[in-house]
Amino acid sequence: MGSPAKVAVLAAVALVAVVLELGLVGANFQDDCDITWEPQNAKMDEGGNHLTLSLVSNSSGSMLRTKKQFIFGSVSTRIKLVKGNSAGTVTTYYTSSIGDNHDEIDFEFLGNETGQPYTVHTNVFADGVGQKEMQFRPWFDPTADYHNYTIFWNECMIVWIIDSIPIRVFRNHSAQGVPFPTRRQMYAFSSIWAAEDWATQGGRVKTNWTNAPFVAEYRDISLQVCDCASYGGAAGCPETCASSSNWYAAPDLCQLSKAQLRQMRAVQLGYTIYDYCADSKRYNGTVPPECSMPQY
C-alpha cells in the first residue's frame, strides 16, 4: 500500500477516468432538476432518467435547470438530437451562473437541413466576457443514437468531451489577465429554442415550422460537482471548492493524458470548422492573448 495521500490521488484519477469516459448515473432529471421555461413542452419518464424537450413555435421551446449550484466538477448527459430538417433550431447543454458578468460553459448544437451535418458549438464566458467560440462537425450522426456530452471544469482548465473524446481545452491563464471562471456558482442547463436568424448557415436557412414539434431527447444525467449548498452557498463555495482535497483538483487532472491529447488533436484536425483563434479578421489582424498561450 502507498501513503494515504497517494492512494487518495490514485482514487481521484480513477474516478475522473470514469467521469470523462463513461459518465456516471448519479442523478435523474425528475429529482435533481426543475423545468424553468415552458414546462408543458418537457416530458419525463423511466423514473426521471429519460427527458424530451420540444420546440413548438418560434417563441415556445423548453428549458431544464439543475437544482444544484456548483463550482468545479463534471456534468454530463446523453443526448439524441432533433431528427430530419432541424434548421433554425438550437439544442443545448451548458453551465451558467446567474446575474451580471456571468460565467458560462457551452455545448450548443445548431440544426441543419435534412442531410446536412449539425454544428457542435462550444464557448466559454468568464466575468461576462465570451466570444471564444470553437465549432466542429460531429464525426457521427447525433440524431441516430444517444451520445455522452461532458463538461469537466477545475481551477486548471475546462474540457469539453464527447463520449470518451476530449474535443477542446480552455486553460486558466487568469494570472496573465485572461478571464477564467473560478468564483461564480453555476447551474447546469438543457434547452431547445428557435434561432433561425443565425443558427443555420448564418441565418440563410429558416425553420420549416410545418415540421414542428422539434424534439430533443436526453437520457441520464451525472452531476459529480462541488455542491455550493453543502458549503453555505455562494459565500463559502469558491474557497471550499478550490481546496486541493477535492477529487477534480488532483495534480493529474490539470492536463490531458497523452492518449487524450492525441484524440483531441485528431478531432480538431479533422472536424474543426471555426476557431476564434484563427479568425484574425474578426480582431483587426490580431487575436486574443490566450491564443498564443499553451492550452494543453
Q: Which residue is associated with the grid cell 492550452?
A: 295
- What's the pLDDT tens digit per position in 91-127? 999 999 999 999 999 999 999 999 999 999 999 999 9
**pTM for this predicted structure:** 0.91
Percent above pLDDT 70 for the chain: 91
Least confident of 5-19, 117-131, 188-202: 5-19
Helical segments of the chain, H only: 4-21, 29-32, 237-241, 258-271
Confidence of residue 166 (pLDDT cuts 50, 70, 90): very high
Mean of pLDDT values over 251-268: 96
19 pLDDT exceeds 90? no
Confidence of residue 238 (pLDDT cuts 50, 70, 90): confident
> Does 108 qualify as catalytic in the annotation?
yes
Confidence of residue 23 (pLDDT cuts 50, 70, 90): very low
**For the CA atoms of the chain, what is the radius of gyration?**
19
Name the architecture of domain 33-292: Sandwich (2.60)
Asked if 226 contacts 70 with a C-beta cutoff of 8 angstroms, the reply is yes
Select which of 21, 46, 108, 113 is catalytic: 108
Percent above pLDDT 90 for the chain: 81
Select which of 38, 104, 196, 217 is catalytic: 104
Q: What is the DSSP letter of 184?
A: S
2 pLDDT exceeds 60? no
pLDDT of residue 148: 98
Residues whose CB falls within 8 Å of the CB of residue 1, separated by 6 or more in sequence, listed in order: 7
**Residue 187: which H helix or E strand, with range?**
strand 187-194
Confidence of residue 26 (pLDDT cuts 50, 70, 90): low
